[in-house]
Structure 1
Amino acid sequence: METVVEIHDFTRFATAAQFVSYLGLCPGEDSSGKTKNMLPLTKAGNKRVRA
């Protein structure tokens, strides 16, 4: 219920990637040139929904 209250209108997210970014569940990345280093989840989104 808390997720629905926080999000309210799921149609404002055009793609699943936008929704995941809003939640802060997308992986971080530290890349340079040919080196690609994947980091843990960013946790930069909405804390209440992520919990």
Structure 2
Amino acid sequence: MYDVSAAETIGLAEQNGLWLIHVDDAADLQGRAGMSWSSIVMQKDCTSPAAGS
């Protein structure tokens, strides 16, 4: 696993035409120390001229 923040992922996605829909952070379900998870939902704007490229 690589330590990548949700903010970094969202920033890169937005630079590439994706819009943030939802983000949620959660502790590790197995209780591992120092481990957490982010769920990120993004959507591509299908109405833009660049859509499909």
Is TM more than 0.5 here?
Answer: no
**TM-score bucket (shorter structure):** under 0.3
Q: Normalised by the size of structure 1, how large is the TM-score?
A: 0.26
* Richer in helix (by share): 1
Q: Normalised by the size of structure 2, how large is the TM-score?
A: 0.26
* Richer in strand (by share): 2
